[in-house]
Amino acid sequence: MSDGQNQDQDQDQDQDQDQERRAHPRDSGMQPNPTLNRAARRGGATEDEQLLQSPGATPDPNFTHTDPWRVFRIMGEFVSGFDELAHVERAVSFFGSARTGPNDPMYDAARETAKLVAEAGYAIITGGGPGIMEAANKGAREGHGLSIGCAIELPVEQGINAYVDLPINFRYFFVRKTMFVKYAQAFLIFPGGFGTMDELFEAVTLIQTHKVRNFPLVLFGSTYWGGLVDWLRGTMLAGHNINQQDLDRLVVTDSPREACRIIMEETKNL
């Protein structure tokens, strides 16, 4: 069987599994997401990894494995994401560690905050995974809001949490990140690792360079974020590499209600 036929079968299988998952959502635990598991199942590189390899690293005469062909896949992923989220008018993107367990106080804080934000009329967008993402999607469901999960293909087995109402699968980080920004009126950022930092500083950069409107960036957890904010003030601001207005964009809180209030107040005219 040709690679093209394999890919067509994978796509058909992925569509059937997505429809089944939406028709019969479960109530707890991580759900299998074969669309994102393809690279792990085959022991191969993810689409992102293949795209970012230098041109001469893995020569392949098959046109469907070349960068020009990948442009069509990228276009398709943008179209799919835009189509799925076109009806979302007001949303907040939640970020934080996938390693945060249900017994961690931050898990409950994210769930409660998402519930309040959902009750205020916003959809909740997460990466669809475990940890803080799961907590936020759970809170969205408890608050009777739309719970969205933008999942990404990773080299390890990856599922989607059971509290996602609208799952969308992405193979390319930059496409997925576009959805986080395009459809959100605010970012709510809980303690996390490199990925969380990446989302935070990319959002600040987009606002600073006027690529997007000045939407709220709320950092939840003063103990976790305090050292970073102090460093930004004492080193980056003191060295004139940012200005006070840049630093003021970052609002730190420990209160779910305060986080929700900030978002509602700052987005009422957006």
Sequence letter at residue 140: A
Q: How distant is the alpha carbon of residue 19 from its chain centre?
A: 21
Q: What pLDDT is recorded for position 45?
A: 63
Higher-scoring residue by pLDDT: 48, 163: 163
The mean per-residue pLDDT over the stretch 174-201 comes to: 95
Query: What secondary structure, in 3-state letters, does the chain show?
Result: CCHHHHHHHHHHHHHHHHHHHHHCCCCCCEEECHHHHHHHHHCCCCHHHHHHCCCCCCCCCCHHHCHHHHHHHHHHHHHHHHHHHCCCCCEEEEECCCCCCCCCHHHHHHHHHHHHHHHCCCEEEECCCCCHHHHHHHHHHHCCCCEEEEEECCCCCCEEECCCCEEEEECCHHHHHHHHHHCCCEEEECCCCHHHHHHHHHHHHHHHCCCCCCCCEEEECHHHHHHHHHHHHHHHHCCCCCCHHHHHCEEEECCHHHHHHHHHHHHCCC
Q: What pLDDT is recorded for position 163?
A: 97
The mean per-residue pLDDT over the stretch 119-148 comes to: 97
Specify the pTM: 0.78
Q: Is the pLDDT of residue 102 over 50?
A: yes
Work out the pLDDT band at 44, boundaries 50, 70, 90. Answer: low
Q: Position of tokens 């900030």?
A: 262
CA pair distance 77, 59, nearest whole angstrom? 25
Q: Is the pLDDT of residue 262 over 50?
A: yes
Work out the pLDDT band at 16, boundaries 50, 70, 90. Answer: very low
Could you give the domains of the chain? 3-267 (3.40.50.450)
CA pair distance 82, 259, nearest whole angstrom? 28
Q: Is the pLDDT of residue 191 over 50?
A: yes
CA pair distance 109, 132, nearest whole angstrom? 9
Q: Is the pLDDT of residue 258 over 80?
A: yes
pLDDT digits (tens, 9 = 90+) for 19-30: 444 433 444 467
CA pair distance 252, 268, nearest whole angstrom? 20
Higher-scoring residue by pLDDT: 61, 205: 205
